[in-house]
Amino acid sequence: MFLPLILAEISKKIARMIKHFSLIVVLLGCYMLWEQRPVWHGEGITVSEAPAINVLRSAKSIETDNYILTPVAAISGSSRLIGRKLYWFDDHASLSPIDFTLGWDKMSDEYYLRRMQVQIAEREHAIRFAIERIPKTNISDMVLHMHAIPSNDDIREKMRWMRRGHVIDFEGYIVDVLPKTEDASARRHKQKPSFKRNSSHFIWIENLTIQ
């Protein structure tokens, strides 16, 4: 005769646990949305110049647990973060956990940023305008899509909490990425510099400051 009472009490406890768990999930989601809210500066160009890129003739390779990185160009400067995406499960997530789309000149101006959307998926980015479109031929001169590789845990933590609209100063290297699982002859065959301006790049970040 006590079994129905026991089951009823267990059901009440489970219901309370589910309610509390749901509340925690909602609060966590709200916190994450708050932390990732865009940073607004008002209309006007926030970063006027493109990052400086200097192609390297030769450089010492950088080894991580699973990859060999070959620097092909040094890069440094300031940019405005106009798009970001976290990766958890793709092939390079352990090396480059976040993609950033960076802009300068008109692509750092809120007048245009409020009238466009930056979409990032599968390590590629696309920019779609509602109105006041910047000519497509000019966009590539004002944007860099970065597969960011943190050089240490401090930079990794800064990257994790960077928000759209943040203006950053950074230094590092554009790198070619080769998995260590490839045999030595295949790696040697691929270790010729493959730098091309205005395309997406893996970038090893050595210094990072959020303004």
* Domain locations in the chain as residue ranges: 1-35, 52-210
CA–CA separation, 132 vs 138, rounded Å? Answer: 14
pLDDT of residue 31: 46
Tell me the pTM.
Answer: 0.78
Amino acid at 160: R
pLDDT, tens digit only, all 211 positions of the chain: 555 666 566 666 776 677 666 656 555 555 454 456 778 888 899 999 999 999 998 888 999 988 999 999 999 999 999 999 999 888 888 999 999 999 999 999 998 888 888 889 888 888 888 766 677 667 888 999 999 999 999 999 999 889 999 999 999 999 999 888 765 555 555 555 556 665 789 999 999 999 8
Long-range residue pairs from 148-154, CB within 8 A, at least 24 positions apart, any chain: 148/96, 148/97, 148/98, 148/99, 148/100, 148/203, 148/205, 149/69, 149/95, 149/96, 149/175, 149/202, 149/203, 149/204, 149/205, 150/97, 150/205, 151/204, 151/205, 151/206
CA–CA separation, 49 vs 9, rounded Å? Answer: 66
pLDDT of residue 29: 53
Question: Which tokens in the block code for residue 102?
Answer: 């960076």
CA–CA separation, 146 vs 161, rounded Å? Answer: 16
